Structure 1
Amino acid sequence: MSHFIDRQSLWRLPLFALLMVIGLAVSSNVLAQADPEGEAATAVPALDADTWRQVRSGETGPNFRDSRADSDYNLINASGETWRQLRNRWVSPFGLIAVGGMIVVIALFYVIIGRKDLSAPRTGRKLLRWPLVVRSLHWTVATLFIVLALTGLNLLYGKFVFRSLFGDAFWASMISASKVAHNYLGPLFGILLIVLLARVLKHNWPKKHDIVWFMKGGGLVGKEHVDAGFANGGEKAWFWVLATVGIVVIASGLVMDFPNYGQGRDTMQWANILHAVGALGLTALALGHIYIGTIGSEGSLEGMTTGYVDETWAKDHHNLWYEEVKEEAVGEEQLAREREGDSGDAAPTRPS
């Protein structure tokens, strides 16, 4: 009986030895993973300074490159570091100086000089300045601009303010909503801005009297009114800034919004820099535009809300235009009757 048991046990010895070998192999891998230095030593050949110089210079083979999405960038992305330095050391401070500086200038201007009031009492006779289609385009573009400016500022600076105030959970939801709104409303803003610029282009061609307007600071220098047509020098300057810088901001935004048309990382990085600098500059100038069109100048806001301006306002700010259309002025009572009859902007005659 014992002889039978011993013979039966002999075949288990090779099986036990095989299990021991497998166990030792598995345990050695586990120990290697638990030891990062040991793992690096067995998984990667020695990485010395010369190897990293090769990686940076682009002379290494495919094992040192990012091959995702047909990319051929090195694992050390020098252009990405350049972009980061530009964004953090130059673009972000520029935005704070431009936007914050404009707010300070506007506040000082209002305190020292104050609102520009009309030079004489209102006559009660109105001139049509902005038809309904232009007003609708203006307010739509203005609303989109404000939303994009706020979400863009949040993307650039918000983490330094709201994250510390409200915590990570609120901040994550806020930044996600800002990014979605910015990405989807940006193209719509671009389309409508181009339509608006095309609609008012005829009023914004430079004229000789615009030079005098700038030399006299729009009327701040001297006591006489400065000649201006339908649009004065400042309004024309704002138009052409939008038509140049604004188009650059739109184009660079589209490059980042649709990254599936073959543009590489370098293109995306430069588009980001151009977009940020242009948008921050426009935001600063827009604050001045908003100030002048609202509390900074009596009667200016009425033109873009009702479409009509008083004769006195037209003579003060756009005297050359007033001389062209003064015969078309209508009284407030007549306008009221037309509005009651659903005439809208259909005045008896329109300015040319």
Structure 2
Amino acid sequence: MCLCRNGPLRGLLLAVLLALTALLAAPAMAQAETEREAATAVGGVSPDIWRQVRSGEVDANFRDTRFDSTYNLVNSSGERWRQLRNRWVSPFGLIAVGGMIAAIALFYVIIGRKDLSEPRTGRKLLRWPLFVRSLHWTVATLFIVLALSGLNLLYGKFVFRSLFGDAVWGAMISASKLAHNYLGPLFGVLLIVLLARVLKHNWPKRHDLEWFRQGGGLVGKGHPDAGFANGGEKLWFWLLATAGLAVVASGFVLDFPNYGQSRDTMQWANLIHGGGALGLTAVALGHIYIGTIGSEGSLEGMTTGYVDETWAKDHHNLWYEEVKDQAVPEERLDAASATDGDRNETASRPG
């Protein structure tokens, strides 16, 4: 009774009740306003209308507002691209790259390194000049950076985001995107130069079939015939010359979207780029293994430019027969290298 007779208190209670009523009614009013706006903007929206929008059987009033766009509000091709990318390209990459790593580890445990069949002779043959070696290592370095940044863009959020959080993962994604976009064109140009430089060594020959039949000599004691490039090296070359150039071309399409490419073209370029790059990354792991710890003496050719006679006879016997008279004692090469080093040091001294 007393509270009811208190005029100021009763006014305060009424104000609170009105405020609560307004707060509770706001969502409903907003929903009603949204529905009225939609009904005014697109009159008569129904399931049939949306089916027409999806299929493209509507007039320009149902198109999106992108400049010169001919796409519908519901882009069916985008959904198809998403399904292909998530259900095929991404799983393929995990299977290809992960399967190759597992296969290499298993092969190394069971078979081990392929050692030379005889002791080294100490006589060296020039295999790769400085220009080719520099070009090879530049392309190889760019390939590794692009592979790692591409893998991070595709799978990084499933690993690094949960491990390090959004801030670190966001910085990694940003760095990967910049590296991929800016180094990709440089890789493409240098890859074409490298392929053109070594093309003469990679034309298929009949004895390459026998090389594959014997597993390249990695299994067993036999060493199949091979010229300057064996069957495996030629296969890697032609993979780069076909799938590699397809990855480069599709990468240019994605890197420069302001040259009139349609949305469908960009979507297909993305699928080709991702699938091809993942496949090449898997094969590259095998190439790296054989060229380093998998075969004794192989890395020397691409680091020093020279290989031992025994290595040449084991792996490239046909080429060895052509150039064996050009073999140089290792001591002479060491002396020449030391002389060049002294000359460079003298030339660099002031005055």
Contact kept in structure 1, 2:247 and 2:277, CA below 8 Å: yes
Amino acid of the structure 2 residue aligned with 1:52:
W
TM-aligned CA deviation for residue 35 of structure 1:
3.8
| Structure 2: distance between partners of 1:163 and 1:280 | 21
2:130 is aligned with 1:142 = no
TM-aligned CA deviation for residue 75 of structure 1:
0.5
TM-aligned CA deviation for residue 131 of structure 1:
0.3
| Structure 2: distance between partners of 1:340 and 1:278 | 45
1:160 to 140, 147, 158: 158
Q: How is 1:237-252 mapped onto 2 (pairs within 5 angstroms)?
A: 237-252=235-250
Contact kept in structure 2, 1:32 and 1:39, CA below 8 Å: no
2:47 to 49, 55, 63: 49
Q: How is 1:313-324 mapped onto 2 (pairs within 5 angstroms)?
A: 313-324=311-322
Q: How is 1:54-203 mapped onto 2 (pairs within 5 angstroms)?
A: 54-203=52-201
| Structure 2: distance between partners of 1:209 and 1:108 | 29
TM-aligned CA deviation for residue 221 of structure 1:
5.7
Q: Which residue of 2 aligns with 1:22?
A: none
SS in 2 for 1:70: coil
2:322 is aligned with 1:303 = no
Contact kept in structure 1, 2:228 and 2:318, CA below 8 Å: yes
SS in 2 for 1:76: coil
**What is the TM-score when the length of structure 2 is the normalising length?**
0.87
Contact kept in structure 1, 2:216 and 2:231, CA below 8 Å: yes
| Structure 1: distance between partners of 2:79 and 2:56 | 16
| Structure 2: distance between partners of 1:229 and 1:95 | 33
Q: Which residue of 1 aligns with 2:25?
A: none
Contact kept in structure 1, 2:114 and 2:218, CA below 8 Å: no
- What's the C-alpha RMSD, in Å, of the aligned pairs? 1.8
Contact kept in structure 1, 2:111 and 2:219, CA below 8 Å: no
| Structure 2: distance between partners of 1:57 and 1:34 | 29
Q: Which residue of 2 aligns with 1:291?
A: 289
Q: Deviations over 1:298-334 (max 9, x none)?
A: 0000000000000000000000101111110011110
Amino acid of the structure 2 residue aligned with 1:118:
L
Comparing 238-247 with 332-341, greater Cα deviation is found at: 332-341
TM-aligned CA deviation for residue 295 of structure 1:
0.2
TM-aligned CA deviation for residue 165 of structure 1:
1.0
2:262 to 258, 261, 264: 264
Q: Deviations over 1:26-60 (max 9, x none)?
A: xxxx9567743343334431211110111012121
Q: Which residue of 1 aligns with 2:4?
A: none
% identical aligned pairs: 80
SS in 2 for 1:296: coil
| Structure 1: distance between partners of 2:192 and 2:161 | 36
Unmatched tracts of structure 2, length 5 or more: 1-27, 342-351
